[in-house]
Amino acid sequence: AKHGGRGIVRLFDEVMDESIRFRRQIEGGLSEAIAKGELKLVFQPIVARDQLEITGFEALIRWCSPEYGMVSPGMFIPIAEESNLIHELGDWVIDRAVETLKTWPGQYVSVNFSPRQFRRHNFVAHVMERVANAGVEPGRFQIEITETAIFDDVERAAETLFKLRQMGFRIALDDFGTGYSSLYNIRRFALDCLKIDRSFVDGMGRERESAAIVHSIIHLGRALGMEVVAEGVETEAQLQALRLAGCSHLQGYYLARPMDVEDALVLANRGYIG
């Protein structure tokens, strides 16, 4: 190249500076976003296979920033996760989710927890207190965690999950199939639900491998008495294939997109999709 090695190094430094500055900006903006009311939750229905009855809603966070526009959680959750912000943010999500849940006739709310939240000291008591204070039954509150949250300290995670289950919370393993869970550990954990990662559902119609993985997860879940939710259902063909495969629950744009709280309430009262 024209500028030689030094130029490349300098360019690299500049890019790094830029990304650190960007990260700091997001961090700063995010911590104010809560106070300024720039965060909101949207809700996506989770439905039972046959009648498309709505059994729950997944809560998904949105940041509507006057400065940056709609910031995707895929962008800011990892940044929050690397600072203590994730706890403040997480508590805000729990409280909002629980408040919304109170307006629905019977569905559960499914809340995403990042690994750092899950490993927090006194996690169980912390969540229990917030849910109980709101007068909500733990059985209508589902905790979604990923394999990453569990598998670096399996003993501790098993204990946490056991306690959560004892208090009546629902537990879902999110993005299942993309992490490092061994079947041995899956058996040990107290889980209510496996969520098949969207990438497998997406590949199902094209590759035998994805279809085979989807089928095995469904069988595994059924054999162990767990609900299985297929994420990212985008087409009628996927819906039919998943039904045929015996997948108990479905979630995805084809059924319903994540929606504002008011629309979620209307759907919750109707009870069914379509």
Cα 196 to Cα 214: distance, rounded to the nearest angstrom: 7
| CA 55 vs CA 58, 109, 140, 175: distances in Å | 10, 9, 10, 19
Amino acid at 227: E
Among 34, 60, 136, 265, binds ligand C2E (CB under 6 A): 60
Minimum CB–partner distance for residue 16 and ligand C2E (Å): 25
Among 160, 175, 214, 241, binds ligand C2E (CB under 6 A): 175
Tokens of 227: 């609900």
Among 26, 61, 85, 242, binds ligand C2E (CB under 6 A): 61
Q: Tell me whether strands 227-230 and 39-48 are parallel, antiparallel or unpaired.
A: unpaired
Of 18-26, 135-143, 242-250, 251-259, which part binds ligand C2E (CB under 6 A)? 251-259
Amino acid at 139: G
In the region spanning residues 187 to 246, those forming contacts with ligand C2E, defined by CB under 6 A, are: 198, 232-234
**By CB under 6 A, is residue 65 in contact with ligand C2E?**
no
Tokens of 65: 């920033």
Helices 85-101 and 4-36 pack at an angle, to 10 degrees, of 40
Cα 113 to Cα 271: distance, rounded to the nearest angstrom: 26
In the region spanning residues 113 to 132, those forming contacts with ligand C2E, defined by CB under 6 A, are: 113-114
Among 27, 53, 73, 261, binds ligand C2E (CB under 6 A): 73
Of residues 29 and 227, the one with the C-beta less far from Ca ion: 227
- Do residues 170 and 108 touch, judged by C-beta distance below 8 A? yes
Among 175, 181, 226, 232, binds Ca ion (CB under 5 A): 175
Chain residues that interact with ligand C2E, rule: CB under 6 A: 44, 60-61, 72-74, 77, 93, 112-114, 174-175, 198, 232-234, 252-253, 258
